[in-house]
Structure 1
Amino acid sequence: MLQQLPAVVYSPWIPLKKGVLSGSMELKTSHFPIPNSSFLGIKFQVTHAYENENATRRRIIIFCTDSRLTHGRKVKKLEASLQNVDLPPILPKKKKKPYPIPITKIQQAARADKKLAQMGIEKPLEPPKNGLLVPELIPVAYEVVGAWKILISGLARLLHVVPVHACSECSDIHVALAGHNIQDCCGPTSGSRKSFHSWVKGSINDVLLPIESYHMYDPFGQRIKHETRFNYDRIPAVIELCIQAGVELPDYPSRRRTKPIRMLGKKVIDMGGLIEEPELHSSYGSESSIMELDTYRIQDRYSPPAESDVPKIAQQTVKAYEKVKRGVTKLMKKYTIKACGYCSEVHVGPWGHNAKLCGEFKHQWRDGKHGWQDATVDEMFPPNYVWHVENPKGLPLKQTLRKFYGKAPAVLEVCMQAGAQVPDKYRSMMRLDIVVPEKEEARFVA
């Protein structure tokens, strides 16, 4: 169906020199069925050049859209719902991890600090870089500790109901009634098993990877040496971060400064003096405050839950997992955490320790010392992705259909099989909207 064009008023053409014709035309306002647009009454000065004066005139049609029709009005963007999202690539072990902050920015900051030091100007520091607490982050730290307790206690009870299998040769786990048949084992004897996994019963430390850190009374004090590493306790890194952010635990005290630290370049010129660290009397007895914050033998301390309480516990565990991840992300924006660029070691504090415990790629060149760099959230609180199983009691996953299977964090996979509702942001990762074909149908799928 054709739409009648608006009335056009032409002014007479005026012949100019060298075959140039000049004129003006006026378009009257007329609305067309074009979304968010219309024609306006605007005068256009038209000048067209011809090779000779006797050339045939050409008719020119100009369309103009009105952007003012959408001014001041919210326009919804059409967001395509993704069916599947690929996971972050697995970094090679024979190479250092990439820096979270570009190396050029790190070098620029180092040059700026060196220039200030040469001029004798102190380095400007804000809390918590100067040793003082950030008042608005103290409630966040307490919230993370509370969510962490719910998370590990909920997982300890759910693992009595949900079966978890771990490979005895590599770090992979599987949450289902039986282990999968996907050939992706990279253990030392995987060649003799054709990359099939050797499944054994898993524990909570297989689902929630134990990332530990040394507890220091004064993170800005003397660095931990290799000979003095046994003088410091190792606790979950999330708890150590919360302690430095303001959480008070009787068994693990922390120094609270009232005067800021002063630095000149990389040198600390005033740290308020060295204070003797109090003796720690922590133990894994019934009165220890760290006992309910650590996953050591936690499954033995909790009995299997009632069948009617399993979905409720699973939903609480999912909420606690999201709270911990969100809180750790907020704290890491302010507090410094170092991670080794070669292994999974993490240290909470402005400088990494000097313990020679790294055994990864080319550790002989570094004398076993860690290659410290800024940590990411996934290094501090790793998701530990596992294959998602639609029917835990069905047939094991097959190698030929692996491209149709999704993955999810191990904690969420356990909770989902226990009856919890998984947040929508994980649906595309788990590929819940994709129907897995049969083995003989897979070759017909594009």
Structure 2
Amino acid sequence: MWRRQTVAKARPVCRASSASCAFSEIPPDIPPSVSGAFKDAFKKAVPNLQLSEFPSHFMKPRPPVPGTLPTKFTVNYILPYKSRVDAQEVPFDVCSMPGNPATYVHVSPVTSISNSYFNQNVPVPMELPNRKKKKPFLTTYKEFTRKKAKSDSEPPSNGLLVPELVPVALDTLNARATLLTGLHKLLKVISIKKCRFCPAIHVGPIGHQIASCLGPHNGVRHGRHDWTNGSIQDVVPPINTFHLFDRLAKPIMHENRWNIPRVPAIVELCIQAGVDIPLYPTKRRTEPVVVIDNEIVDFDAKEKHKSGNVGKCKIIKPTKFNEKHLYLKGSFDDLEVCALDAKNLAVLAEKTMQAWFLMRDGAKKLMSKYMVYVCGYCQQVHVGPKGAKTSECKGYKNYQRSGRHGWQEATIDDLIPPGYVWHVQDCRGPPLPTELRVFFGAAPAVIELCVQAGAAIPEDYKAMMRLDVVVPDLSELNKVV
């Protein structure tokens, strides 16, 4: 974590009576693993500094020297709270000490730094993305092509699996099954609402009154949502993609789009990473492939190379994906849906929330090796080294691209949309008014659903949910500073 500290130094003055200054220590939560470069920088700044009791007593004051008055200089450094950056790699900006050493050393954090350890001003991502603007790229095109060229001779670009990611793919698919099983049971206890005209959702028995609807005829309703009962499809939006029998085959053309089945994108990512599902077979190779005249040749034996047999993609008959094939038998068998008290409901919500985190963490690891694309104009996702050449894009100015997708590198939110909702502190209270929207926090729909069911609030979303903000009444709105 970046922090900026203010340290005092001394300069000679005429009057000895003015050499008085208060001393304050930094909080004792600084980790003990501080590099030698950090200590050396402060030793150069303050030669007589005692660091024997570091970090509980970070800097100890010495008796005042007559004729000195403290002034300030700045030292920039890195504290290894949650950062993997080594402090030795960071240059230190230390001012030289004039003449006498420092009499007092004062350390105090600068509160204007936005990325402090206790970050409380996290923006609430409740605004819908601009559909008339292309999504920003994660990396530049030059860096992306350079990264892709380096990995052409390594798995999985050469047709082989990454051995260390096969257990990760299996755990990710199991976590998804556990998540869906838990959500089905939680939705029987906690209700969820969805808007008829826009993709907004709300977790709670009564929908909020915040005027943020951008659907058709929203001016007639003054931006108010028209709520109806939601389902699990609203909490976990289905992001489907093509299932590839051979991930290194030629891209899918527009004429063959109906002959290839579609599966959830996270399931296709796990299948390509090594999970075998009998309903959706895929081609596994034991030897790396070679490309000859833009054709992929399996190099398992010399006979194949001499005869010119090319591993072409087979067309599979279209079948509808069934979610029941991925459910875990025995998930939450110790909990009965008909008799869920507050304690069992909290246990169920905690397991469901942990499964959501495990699924996202596993997907991030898989996406670091297996390529996942997303259209820059719509929400279509493709898992594989080559994007599909289908004319199905309905995004902004699709007629200029003949309906083709603008494929670019995807993020974890494109593969698993969080679906942010407003955080409700009191489920039994009145609906959230639109005048007090600046005081409300937000959280992903899965997190909000599990928290209302009794799960503990995760540390990563405490700042976004604004738990320390006291929501005033409508009569007190004009008096709030």
Q: Same fold (TM over 0.5)?
A: yes
RMSD over aligned Cα, in angstroms? Answer: 3.2
- Is the 8 Å Cα contact of residues 297 and 311 (structure 2) preserved in structure 1? no
Structure number with bigger Rg: 1
- 1:9 maps to what in 2? none
1:128: Cα distance to partner?
1.0
Name the amino acid aligned to 2:135: K
The DSSP-based 3-state class of the residue aligned with 2:382 is strand
Distance 2:216 2:208 in 1: 19
CA contact 2:241–2:264 (8 Å) conserved in 1:
yes
Matches within 5 A, 1:363-402: 363-402=398-437
Kindly state the Cα deviation for residue 35 of structure 1 after the two structures are TM-superposed: 2.6
Query: Hey, what does 1:51 align to over in structure 2?
Result: none
1:292 to 1:87, Cα distance in 2 relative to 1, 3 A: farther
In structure 2, relative to structure 1, the CA distance for the partners of 1:177 and 1:92 (3 Å cut) is: same
Structure 1, unaligned stretches of length 5 or more? Answer: 5-28, 40-59, 67-77, 114-121, 295-301
Is 1:346 aligned to residue 381 of structure 2?
Answer: yes
* Partner amino acid, structure 1, of 2:132: K
Residues 31 and 38 of structure 1 are in contact (CA less than 8 Å); yes or no, is this contact kept in structure 2?
Answer: no
CA shift in 2, pair 1:235/1:252, >3 Å: same
Q: Which residue of 1 aligns with 2:59?
A: 35
**Match for 1:215: what amino acid?**
H
CA deviations on 1:365-389 (whole Å, 9 max, x unpaired) are 1111111111111101111100000
Cα-to-partner distance string for 1:66-101 (whole Å, 9 max, x where unaligned): 9xxxxxxxxxxx954223411457531111111111
Q: Deviations over 1:388-443 (max 9, x none)?
A: 00111210001110000000000111111111112111100111111111112222
- Paired position in structure 1 for 2:99: 62
- 1:313 aligned residue (313, 337, 348): 348
Q: How does 1:157-236 map to 2 (within 5 A)?
A: 157-236=185-264
* Counterpart Cα distance in 1 of 2:200 and 2:414: 17
Matched, 1:141 2:169: yes
Paired position in structure 2 for 1:415: 450
**Who is 1:239 aligned against?**
267
Q: Name the SS of the counterpart of 1:408 in structure 2.
A: strand
- Contact persistence 1:183–1:197 (CA under 8 A): yes
- Give unmatched runs, 5+ long, in structure 2: 1-16, 21-46, 51-56, 64-96, 104-114, 300-309, 328-334
Deviations, residues 300-355 of structure 1 (Å, cap 9, x unaligned)? xx994422232211111000000001000111001001110000000110011122
Counterpart contact for 1:261–1:268, Cα < 8 Å: no
Distance 1:190 1:124, change over 3 A: closer
Report the TM-score when normalising by structure 1: 0.76
Report the alpha carbon displacement of residue 276 of structure 1 after superposing the two structures with TM. Answer: 6.0
Is the 2:260–2:315 contact (alpha carbons within 8 Å) kept by the matching residues of 1?
no
CA deviation vs aligned residue, 1:117-166 (integer Å, no higher than 9, x gap): xxxxx985211121110000000000001100010111111111111010
Displacement of 1:31: 7.3
Cα distance in 2 for partners of 1:402, 1:210 equals: 29
Matched residue, 1:429:
464
| TM-score, normalised by the number of residues in structure 2 | 0.70
Shift of 1:282: 5.5
Paired residue for 1:331?
366
Within 2, Cα distance between the matches of 1:169 and 1:34? 58
Counterparts of 1:234 and 1:384 in 2: how far apart (Å)? 22
- After the TM superposition, which of the residue ranges 323-332 and 431-440 deviates more from structure 2? 431-440
Aligned sequence identity (%): 40
1:98-177 mapped onto 2 (5 Å cutoff):
98-106=136-144, 124-177=152-205
Compared CA separation, residues 124 and 163, structure 1 to 2 (3 A)? closer
Give the secondary structure class of the aligned counterpart of 1:441: helix
